[in-house]
Every structure is written in C-alpha cells, then in structure tokens.
Amino acid sequence: MKHTAKALLSLLLAALMLTGCGTPAPTDATTDATGATDGTTAASSAAAETPAETEEPGEPTLSDMIAAFEARALSDFRTVYTQKDVCPEPALSSYKKFEACATAAFTVPGLEQSIVPQGMDYWAEMGWMLISGYCSDETKNGGKGSALFAVDVESGKMVGEYYLKNMDGTYHTSHAGGVAVTKKNVFIANGGMLYRIPLTELLKQCGDVSIVEEIAVPVRASLANCSGGILWVGDFQYGSSYPTQEFQKMKNRQGTWYYAWTVGYVLDETTENDLKPNVMAEVEGQNYAIPDYILSTTERIQGMAYLPEVGQIVLSQSYGRTNASTLFFYEDPLGQEPHTHFELNGFKIPVWFLDKKLSTKEMPAIPMSEGVANVNGKLYVLFESGAEKYRLGGGKQPTDTVYAVDITKW
C-alpha cells in the first residue's frame, strides 16, 4: 500500500495496539543481562527505572489504528472466505465501449462460499475497496450471515473479512445492498435503513463486527456511495415487484414518470454518525433522516457513483441474469438551479432529475452490474454474476472480476 508515513508509524505503534486479525510486526531489539536493550547501558537502564511524570496515553486515533493494522501479517486475515477465480473471463467483444475502457482489477472475494456481491465503496485512507454481499447458502459460511470484505486496490488482494452482526448480537442477513465509506464510518444500506459501523471496528479485528446504529431513510436503501462530502443512498425500483413510496413518484422534464430516488446527506464532521444533529423527522408516521438533496432517477438502478472531480454522476443499471447492464453518465447537476423542490415535513428539499437532458453518455456492459466506485478518477464496477446462484443457474457471461473503467478513454 502507498502509506509510507503510516507504515513508519506502525513500527512504533504496533506493540501498543490490541492484536486483531493479524500478528504485530516483530522487532529486532534484543535484551542483555542487565535488562537493557542493545545500545543501552546498564546505568541508563537503571536511571530509566525512575519514571518521569507523563500524561496518561489517550485513546488511539484512527490514524494510529491504521498504522498498527498495516504492521500485521495480511496472510493471517482470512479465516472463512477465499478469493479465487471461479469462472473464465467473459468475452467483452459484444460490448465495444466497455471493452475499450475496462481492465480487470481484482477477483471478488467469497464466491466459493456462496457470497452474492452487492455494494462497493473506496476507503481512500487505507487504499481499500469495501465490498458487501449476502450468502445464498449459509452452510458454506458457517451461518455467519452477510459479509463485508476489504480488498487492497493496489495489490488486488483481500486483506480483511468481516461478519456483520445486528445490535442484538445476531448475525445480519440482509442483502447488504450498498456500502458507503466516510472518514469515520462505513454504512451498509438495505431495507430502508443505513446500518452504521465505525471504521475503527474494522481495524481492531477481522471477524465479527457489530452495527452500532440503525438510521431510517425515505428510500429502499438498495445502494449507497460517499463522495465529495455527501453520503448517498438510493432505490432499486422496478414495477410492482420492487415498489417505492407513493410520494416519490415524480414526472421528469420529458414528461416521463420516475419512481425512484437517490438522496444525499451533507456530512457533518462534528457528529459520530456523520449526519446533522437534527436530521431525523417524522414523515407519514415514520421517522426518517431528512436529506439535503434528492436525485430522481430511472428504474433498475443497482449502484451509484458521484464523481465531482470530473462533474459526473454514474448509475449502474441491471436486472436479470441474461440482460445487458448499462452504465449511465450524467452531468453533475448540484451546481445548477434545482429542477423542482419536494417538501418532507416542512423541509423544502431541492430535486434534480437524472434524465435525458443531463445525460452525457451510456455504456452497455456485461450482465448483472452492481455497485460502482470512484478510485482516483477510474470507475470500478462490481458484478454479481459470478455468484454461485447465478453462474451455475443460467447466468450469461458470468464474471468473478471487478473491472476498472478509464472514462477518459471514451
């Protein structure tokens, strides 16, 4: 990983931190008969027996924990899941645009153990991609429910695996449809909720990690993303099988009805959960976190990436194991006047339609795209087609690979 300063700090901090998934880094110091280490005289050792008055050490910071974590042996991290190729690479020749821009980045973890990958977001401070998924056959993962994986983007190797636990101590078994990483938390999105886990928990240990807060949102919470200081969470909506709430129905600027939202929350660095202190309010008998922004979107959206550096928003659309996916690119509208407003319990929220007027390009891709994430200007795309239930169940062109799309080539 490219974390030179933190790696140097780790030599000092590793001995102080609690052990977790791996093993603390060894030191080269030896001790002589006086109890002093090499290069230390007995006299100086004796003088050191009278401790100077010092302040009690405080709780380790997130940066401290990152440094200590990096000092551990990555080979010790895997205990349940593997990261192995399970299917041949699909032919991309039918998807010329995707083929021209996409390169294989790394293999999705957990596919041998029946994980179905869903959400994905990038933890820049660690250089990790965090990927969520559910298990379609829990006899293969020991009944540990839904999972979160950490993959080092530079090496492509899995460096951590986590088994999600509910606040009551039971294993979490939702689809874990979206992942969003802030500077303090990772949020798992599903079933109208954001499930919060402090990032420090991922650095203490691999294995079980507990959800510490459940936050209701006014969308299905099928997807999530965090970029540019905004936490996004949105809907997968499709007909009567995947409905949204009646108040989300909106007619876009071409006169087409949209039924899905992706809502944005401006992060607040002063709070533990990254949301504004007064964010919760009642809407039609339900307490929701009231968003700062609403993007009204088309149907069948599986993932979203906000790329403020290049002024683009990307939606990942797919449905069905034999149907092509589409990556929709839109001009970032947040600097423009809102297209309309929507009122939730007295809060007037700006709305923008991701419609044809904002569309900049579309890229067809192999079936079953899921989460997408921005990594240093490249768009990483996750597919669920490599999951056992799909690759052995009639899926077309299954892949076990996360692809990196260089959007500057198109």
Residue 398 scores a pLDDT above 60:
yes
> Tell me, what's the pLDDT at 220?
97
Residues 399 and 403: their CA atoms lie apart, in Å, by 10
Residue 240: partners with Cβ closer than 8 Å, 6 or more residues away: none
Tell me what the pLDDT averaged over the chain comes to: 86
Report the percent of the chain where pLDDT is more than 70: 83
Q: Where are the beta strands (DSSP E) in 45-184?
A: 102-107, 115-123, 128-135, 147-152, 158-165, 178-181
**Bigger pLDDT: 77 vs 307:** 307
> Tell me, what's the pLDDT at 282?
85
pLDDT tens, residue by residue, 89-148: 898 999 999 999 999 999 999 999 999 999 999 999 999 999 999 999 999 999 999 999
Whole-prediction pTM value?
Answer: 0.84
| Residue in 394, 313, 371 with CA at minimum distance from that of residue 117 | 371
Residues 381 and 374: their CA atoms lie apart, in Å, by 9
pLDDT tens, residue by residue, 47-59: 444 455 555 667 7
Long-range contacts: 281-287, Cβ < 8 Å, 24+?
281/344, 281/345, 281/346, 281/347, 282/345, 283/218, 283/344, 283/345, 284/245, 284/247, 286/216, 287/216
The three-state secondary structure class of 328 is strand
Tokens at residue 393, please? Answer: 């169940």
Residue 5 scores a pLDDT above 90:
no
Tokens at residue 215, please? Answer: 């936050």
Could you tell me where the DSSP H helices lie in 1-137?
Answer: 4-13, 42-47, 62-70, 96-101
Residues 115 and 133: their CA atoms lie apart, in Å, by 6
> Tell me, what's the pLDDT at 63?
74
Residue 275 scores a pLDDT above 60:
yes
At the top level of CATH, which class does the domain 77-409 belong to? mainly beta
Can you say whether the dihedral through the CA atoms of 330, 267, 294, 125 is positive or negative?
Answer: positive
Residue 38 scores a pLDDT above 90:
no
Residues 332 and 285: their CA atoms lie apart, in Å, by 33
Average pLDDT (146-161) is 96
Domain boundaries, the chain: 1-25+59-76, 77-409
Report the percent of the chain where pLDDT is more than 90: 73
Residues 21 and 159: their CA atoms lie apart, in Å, by 9
Q: Using pLDDT thresholds of 50, 70 and 90, give the confidence band for residue 349.
A: very high
**Bigger pLDDT: 41 vs 201:** 201
Instruction: Provide the 10 A C-beta neighbour count for residue 58.
Output: 7
Residue 178 scores a pLDDT above 60:
yes
Q: What distance, in Å, lies between the first and last C-alpha atoms of the chain? A: 29
